[in-house]
Structures are given as structure tokens and as C-alpha cells.
Amino acid sequence: MRRISPVLQQDGVEPDLIALLKTILAACREIAFRVSQGELAGVLGSTLGENIQGETQKKLDVIANELLKEVILETGVVKAISSEEEDTIVAGNPKGKYLVTFDPLDGSSNTDINSLIGTIFSILPADPAKEADDASLFLQPGTAQVAAGYVLYGPSTMLALTTGHGTRLYTLDNTYGGFLLTEDQAAIPKYTTEFAINMSNQRFWQEPMQHYIADLLLGKTGTRGKNFNMRWIAAMVGDVHRVLCRGGIFAYPTDTKDPQKPDKLRLMYEANPMSFLVEQAGGVSSTGYQRIMEIIPIDIHQRVAVILGSKHEVETCIGYHKA
């Protein structure tokens, strides 16, 4: 089985980018270890309390954020980072040629129930003409990404990675201490009978999504003429991983549940990197009205509707938005 560096070298990826990716993955290996320790590490729960020795306990997502931030900025090739856990961007080396965005621990409410969680990251080129503390550095569409990936902390720790040469899957080999290539080219099947959506929001969705899901639920007796199955992991990394492995459609549509927050998922930390991975595996990713990777961001923390996965199914769903 092949290690990451030779695979990236073969794809013609720049040495600095390879080094940056390896640094991010080293941090993820450390996060994987802490996740595997669970309650033993004293980092679960939602409060910043004290452990039995009187030491301050930090939540796992705070630890993951600090670890990633520190190691990424130390590489010297990164001009600035933007994290889902930080209010503002953090400046790095003014001469750095890359920007990194990340969600240190996606699906973090799953930590307390020992269920799937992961780290999502995206790498963009940095404009040399801008200052390192200028947030507008990050306002680039997803099509500008030079790499994107996630590390899924599951029964095995897995990495999905793209640098624009397809999406590859790697598995962490703890005996060797690194990720080994286990799927050279993820290929999302064009057709599917599986959907993932938080059905409890149904009454808050807009009409196109109401109609689309209603037709899926009618199964064989409805216009779709086949039965659909539903899955919901409540961590985007877990749901997208399933889609990469066996196809499906994943959606977090706009809703009116909280008028202040019509969309839930973040463009830069979740939607763009996942869209890059999905498209590179032959899938489609859209808001229902627009290709996600073509959105020009106006804010680093902006949220967006997401519909992604098997080509035919996502295109069918987009069709309901045109009607």
C-alpha cells in the first residue's frame, strides 16, 4: 500500500503543499488519538470544567482547533488561517503562499456518544498583494481550492483527499504511524436509492425541497417509481463519507426554523471542501440554484444550503428547484 507523499508527487503537487498537507495530517493523527481515548482523556462534554486533579479540561473541539492552528502557522508557508472556531482570521507568515480554512471537529455533538466526527480542511492560494490580516484574502470561490479533505475519526481513521486529481481515500495505519492509500479513485455511483436529510425540519423547508422529499417518500407508488432508504449521521463528515463510498444524496436545505439562520452549513469550512471532494469523485454539489464551488463569498463565516452526492439524484433535486 502506498504512502501519501509518493502519490502526491506523482500527481505533480508542489513540495510546499505536500509538506503542508503532511503537517495537517500529523495534527489529525494526534486528534485521532485523543478522540480514541474518549472519556479517559477527560475532554468530552460541553463545559470548560476542572478534572479530578484540578486541571482545566478543554473540550475536544477547542483542543483540535488550537493544535491545528499552531502546527499550520509553524509551517511558514501559510499566510493566514480561518477556522470555524475563531471569530476572525489568524495571520501567519506575510510571505506564505497558502491559506488554510478548517472545521477542527465537525459533528462535535457526536463526541459524547462515541459516534462519527471528523476534521475538514481546505487550502486556497494567498494573494501576495494583500496583508496577512486581511480577511478578504479568503473571499475566493471554491473553484480556487488547491486541496481539500477530511479526516474521519471512526472505527478506522480515514482520510479523503483531493488536489484536483480525483478523490483518494487513505486509512490510518497505527503500526506504521501514517495514512496508506486504500482507494485510489473514489467514484460516486450516478444513481442511488439513499438520502440523508434531517427530516425533523421538514415543515420548515422551502417548497422545492418539500416536494422532492415527498416524492422520495412515496417510493414505488409515486412518480419516482422506486423505494428510497434514509440515513442521518448528524455529522457531515460521516454522511459525506458514506456518499463517497456507496453514493446517495445528502442535503441540508434552507429552512425557516430560525429566521436568523436560514442555512446551517458553512461555505468555507464544510460546503466548499466537501463539494471539491464530491465533484472530484464524479458527484454533483449545489445549493439547488447554483453550483456551490462558484459562490463568491462575502463573509468568512457565511452559511449555505447544500445538496450533494450522486449525479442523477442531485440533478433530479435541482430540477424541482427550477419548476
Report the interface residues with ligand F6P, using CB under 6 A. Answer: 106-107, 198, 234-236, 252, 264-265, 270
- Contacts for 1 with CB less than 8 Å, ≥ 6 apart: 173, 180, 181, 182
Q: Tell how strand 194-196 and strand 147-153 pair up.
A: unpaired
Shortest CB 232 distance to ligand F6P, Å: 7
C-alpha cell at 308: 450533494
CB of 120 or CB of 146, closer to ligand F6P: 120
Q: How far is the CB of 139 from ligand F6P (least distance, A)?
A: 21
Residue with cell 509553524: 74
Q: How far apart are CA 64 and CA 166, in angstroms?
A: 27
Q: What's the min distance (Å) between Cβ of 32 and ligand F6P?
A: 18
- Least separation in angstroms between CB 174 and ligand F6P: 25
Q: Which is nearer to ligand F6P, 179 or 252 (CB)?
A: 252
CB of 238 to ligand F6P, least distance (A): 8
Nearer Cβ to ligand F6P (41/234): 234
Q: 86 with 65: CB under 8 angstroms?
A: yes
In the three-class reduction of DSSP (H, G, I as helix; E, B as strand; rest coil), residue 206 is classed as: coil
Of 98 and 121, the one with the shorter C-beta distance to ligand F6P is 121
Q: Of 170 and 252, which has the nearer Cβ to ligand F6P? A: 252
Contact 82, 213 (CB under 8 A): no
Provide the 10 A C-beta neighbour count for residue 54.
6
| CB-closest chain residue to ligand F6P | 236
* Phi, psi at 63, each rounded to 5°: -60, -45
Minimum distance, C-beta of residue 2 to ligand F6P, in the bound complex (Å) = 30
275: number of Cβ within 10 Å: 29
**Alpha-helix runs per DSSP H in the chain:** 4-10, 15-37, 60-74, 207-218, 236-246, 272-280, 311-322
User: In this complex, which beta carbon is closest to ligand F6P, that of residue 61 or of residue 146?
Assistant: 61
Q: How far is the CB of 241 from ligand F6P (least distance, A)?
A: 11
Residue number with CB closer to ligand F6P (112 or 131): 112
Query: Residue 315: phi, psi to the nearest 5?
Result: -65, -35
Label the pairing between strands 229-230 and 194-196: parallel
Of the candidates 130, 61, 143, which has an alpha carbon nearest to the alpha carbon of residue 102?
A: 61
